[in-house]
Amino acid sequence: MKAAVISFPGSNCDFDMLYALQDFGVDAEIVSAKQNSLAEFDAIFLPGGFSYGDYLRTGAIARFSPIMSAVTQAANAGKLVVGICNGFQILTEAGLLPGQLLGNATTGFICDDIELSITNGQTAFTNSYESDEKIVIPVAHAEGNFFADEDTLNKLEENNQIVFRYVNNPNGSAHDIAGIMNEQGNVFGMMPHPERAVDEVLGNIDGQKFFKSMLSTILAKA
């Protein structure tokens, strides 16, 4: 598996993601947002941070980076595309995932360990977990409040596109949504940071199965 971790100006979780992937034997590398091709990669990761300073709206400027045309091509080709935190915001701005991330219901930056429930355990991102399994994953965001109109929310529910939910909703997200995927099941975004929960030294390995799930999915296609 060869993976690209996209680094936007203002990204600050790109190396966290790189090291997490490498821990699982993935051939991963940092790719600048100035590049315009991702043809050689099996999976694409958009990490957390504050792309372009989060001016205008979170992800609104990054959506127009040269690399995003290649990200869209990869998504349309069925490759795995993953956005974490700011990466999730960028994917919604680019129209690769539905909805929008708004300011937290209680104004302010949340930095905490949050309990999640595996809503759909039959995805490329959760197949190593048990359905309804509870895990703890760190969050760090000020604009993690997932919003969509009722028709979109109903569609997400009906198509089993909601992958993770908050057990105790920290930010006001509709339907307690913490992570969703597209209808095809290859584009995924979540606000919590699984790459920060993969090493025993950090006292939390609940994110390991997230990476194991993707790796097994790609290897099964090889």
Amino acid at 136: V
Q: Which residues are CB-contacts of 19 (< 8 A; sequence separation ≥ 6)?
A: 195
Rounded Cα distance, 98 and 109, in Å? 23
What is the residue-wise DSSP string for 119-146? S--SSTTTTTSPTT-EEEEEEEES--EE
Catalytically annotated residue among 13, 93, 141, 195: 195
Catalytically annotated residue among 85, 93, 141, 143: 85
Q: In this structure, are residues 163 and 120 in contact, taking their beta carbons and an 8 Å threshold?
A: yes
Catalytically annotated residue among 13, 93, 143, 193: 193
Residue 175: active-site member: no
Rounded Cα distance, 120 and 3, in Å? 24
Residue 195: active-site member: yes
Give the Cβ contact number of residue 174 at 10 Å.
17
Residue 93: active-site member: no
Q: Left if phi > 0, otherwise alpha if psi is -120 to 50, otherwise beta: which for 51?
A: beta
Residues assigned a catalytic role:
85, 193, 195
